Structure 1
Amino acid sequence: MAIKLLAVLVVFALAKGLPDLSRMRDFSRLRVWLELLAQMGGKLQTALAILVPVTLCLLLQWGLHGWLFGLLSFAFAVCVLWYSWGPRDLSEDIDAVVKAPDSDRRLAAAQWLRPDGVEEPLAFEAPALVDATFQSALKRWFGVLFWFLLLGPAGALLYRLVQLLAWSSPFTSQQGEGLALARRLSLILDWAPSHLMALALAVASDFDAVFHTWKAYHDRMGKGYFSLDLGFLSAIARASVDADVIAGDGYAEDINDPLVELDDARHLLVRVLIVWLAVAGLLVLGGIGG
């Protein structure tokens, strides 16, 4: 776990200090891989498209363990995590909206906040911006981070491949029946990190607002707490940001101002990230997680 946590910090530093590196994340070879598997058809094509690269990554992960005092394993972990991160930089996308010089360019920049799979234009309204930002944070940060901390590089790669196959338009069009499999796997992989985001958000923001919104959402939907309906994340995101803005947060109290809410959403997500890293650090100190 200590090596994984150090790799996470290095990737954070790279994302912050060298944001242009994100342009090197090229998944175009995945289209070639899907074409090679096209003759398999159906769910087998999608399953093999995920399992083969993840298995190879897992074998490398095990094979490099302990070599050169763990340096090779650490370097491999950093490379895979960095490659699986994003792909776009969420902080830069938020900055592009906040710093846009006019409303037209602000609206255009806001479209990059949409998570993969959302084709409808994003309205420049506070609830829509907060919802899109939290959904993108789950896909770009917290999902890959959770599976990396749990399974190492193979977990990060697994998460990214599933998300790309499930929601990214260049790859969804190359699948038939396997698309349903990819999308169900995506929801399964998102279930735990989305709930942990909610828990960390309750700690980092207004606990009552988060808890009551989470409970009210499940009561209203009537699907139970263990269903794959993850819409609660959008509901608690809006509730926690509204509560944070109403509390003042030192500068504003207008929950109808899209820029105020978007900026506060970023601050809350950073707090959630800090909570996650703090818990991971405590696990390291306690000798838990390997």
Structure 2
Amino acid sequence: MNLIGILIALGLERLLGQLPGWGRPLLFLGYVRALMALLPFPPLWRSPVALPLLLLPPLLLIWGLSGVFTHPLADLAWSSLLLLLCLGPRDLAEDVHRLVEAREAGDGETATQLAAALQRGPQPDAGHRSLLGALFIQSHERLFAVLLWFFALGPLGAVLYRCLSRLPRILRETVPDSPAVRLADLLHGAFAWLPARITALLYGMAGSLDDAMQTWRQLLAERQHGWRSHTWAVLAEVSSASMRAEEPDGRVVVPASLEASLDEVLRMQTRALLILLAFFALFATGSMF
């Protein structure tokens, strides 16, 4: 049933993505701001207690409502709706196309702003940061991690990861340099640890797996940074290495321009998504056992 819900949510996301204003991340942000306004006690929101206080109400509400939908079709519709709300906030292709259009139009200011927006969120250490790596991280945060947690734990898993991925940035803007921010980063990294590596492997399978595995081994040997930063470095570097292709004469070929690289990232995301859906189908039908 989870596989059908995934297919429905992905189809609806494609259709609704054409609507103006769709995908703006306002629901969870509005909830956090409303709760903080209801309890205007800054030391509370700076403390680790803020995490369960912010996360438990929506999770308990979803868990309670899920028991209401006993009919399979109603449960499917409910699960698909929740997954749809957890994807994004926007399709990565939309942001990439806007960036390419700005560069082609010579609008350097807009291109810089769009590139900076794509690089917000979790990052590896400074030595492993790049625009292409950031795109793979965004792909994981907007799509793959949510799908993996949804397939594993249903709607509750998708909502949990969606909240954990958004919470560090929201708290950083309201209570910076606080224990709450550090705990939010820690939980986000913990829940991203396995999905990020699965996503990196999917991109390897969608591109050059040999180059991906070689880069992964180099990162394991290097290991000069913390485990959270290492997670994002694996996702960025391994996925980026998957873009290489080898000609029959042994020459390594990469996209000739940034625009070509951005388009290739989107094509690889599509191939990686198809591979993931194929694995989901195998697990759902029991064909792997």
State TM-score, norm by structure 1. Answer: 0.82
Q: Secondary structure at the match of 1:87?
A: coil
- Are residues 115 and 73 of structure 1, via their aligned partners in 2, closer, same or farther at CA, if it must alter by over 3 Å? farther
| Structure 1 residue 18 displacement after superposition | 2.0
Q: Secondary structure at the match of 2:89?
A: coil
Whether the aligned pair in 2 keeps the contact of 1:93 and 1:112 (CA below 8 Å) is: no
Counterpart of 2:126 in structure 1 is: none
- Are residues 24 and 107 of structure 1, via their aligned partners in 2, closer, same or farther at CA, if it must alter by over 3 Å? closer
Alignment of 1:17-32 (within 5 A): 17-19=15-17, 20=19, 22-23=22-23, 25-27=25-27, 28-32=30-34
Say which of 192, 197, 200 aligns to 1:198.
200
| Matched letter for residue 50 of structure 2 | Q
Alignment of 1:75-224 (within 5 A): 75-100=77-102, 101-103=104-106, 104=108, 105-116=110-121, 128-168=130-170, 171-175=171-175, 176-221=178-223
Question: Which deviates further from its counterpart, 23-32 or 79-88?
Answer: 23-32
Counterpart of 1:11 in structure 2 is: 9
Whether the aligned pair in 2 keeps the contact of 1:34 and 1:45 (CA below 8 Å) is: no
In structure 1, stretches of 5+ residues that fail to align are 119-126
State TM-score, norm by structure 2. Answer: 0.83
| Structure 1 residue 280 displacement after superposition | 0.3
| Structure 1 residue 22 displacement after superposition | 2.5
- Are residues 26 and 247 of structure 1, via their aligned partners in 2, closer, same or farther at CA, if it must alter by over 3 Å? farther
CA distance in 1 between counterparts of 2:33 and 2:247 reads 48
Whether the aligned pair in 1 keeps the contact of 2:121 and 2:169 (CA below 8 Å) is: yes
CA distance in 2 between counterparts of 1:258 and 1:81 reads 32
Whether the aligned pair in 1 keeps the contact of 2:24 and 2:90 (CA below 8 Å) is: no
Q: Secondary structure at the match of 1:99?
A: helix
Whether the aligned pair in 1 keeps the contact of 2:8 and 2:80 (CA below 8 Å) is: yes
| Structure 1 residue 111 displacement after superposition | 3.4
| Structure 1 residue 102 displacement after superposition | 1.4
Say which of 31, 43, 46 aligns to 2:48.
43
Q: Secondary structure at the match of 2:174?
A: coil
Whether the aligned pair in 2 keeps the contact of 1:254 and 1:260 (CA below 8 Å) is: no
Whether the aligned pair in 1 keeps the contact of 2:24 and 2:89 (CA below 8 Å) is: no
- Are residues 38 and 276 of structure 1, via their aligned partners in 2, closer, same or farther at CA, if it must alter by over 3 Å? farther
| Matched letter for residue 267 of structure 2 | H
CA distance in 1 between counterparts of 2:234 and 2:122 reads 18
Whether the aligned pair in 2 keeps the contact of 1:54 and 1:158 (CA below 8 Å) is: yes
Whether the aligned pair in 2 keeps the contact of 1:115 and 1:139 (CA below 8 Å) is: no
| Matched letter for residue 63 of structure 1 | V
| Structure 1 residue 287 displacement after superposition | 7.6
Counterpart of 2:258 in structure 1 is: 258
| Matched letter for residue 139 of structure 2 | A
* Identity in percent: 25
CA distance in 1 between counterparts of 2:114 and 2:39 reads 36
- Are residues 156 and 247 of structure 1, via their aligned partners in 2, closer, same or farther at CA, if it must alter by over 3 Å? farther
CA distance in 2 between counterparts of 1:34 and 1:135 reads 29
Say which of 46, 55, 60 aligns to 2:60.
55
| Structure 1 residue 116 displacement after superposition | 2.9
Deviations 1:66-118 (A, max 9, x none): 32xx1221111122111111112211111112333413244443334224367
Deviations 1:193-215 (A, max 9, x none): 11111222222221210111001
| Structure 1 residue 139 displacement after superposition | 0.9
| Matched letter for residue 275 of structure 1 | I
CA distance in 1 between counterparts of 2:89 and 2:24 reads 9
| Structure 1 residue 129 displacement after superposition | 2.5
How many residues are matched?
266
- Are residues 150 and 115 of structure 1, via their aligned partners in 2, closer, same or farther at CA, if it must alter by over 3 Å? farther
- Are residues 90 and 111 of structure 1, via their aligned partners in 2, closer, same or farther at CA, if it must alter by over 3 Å? same
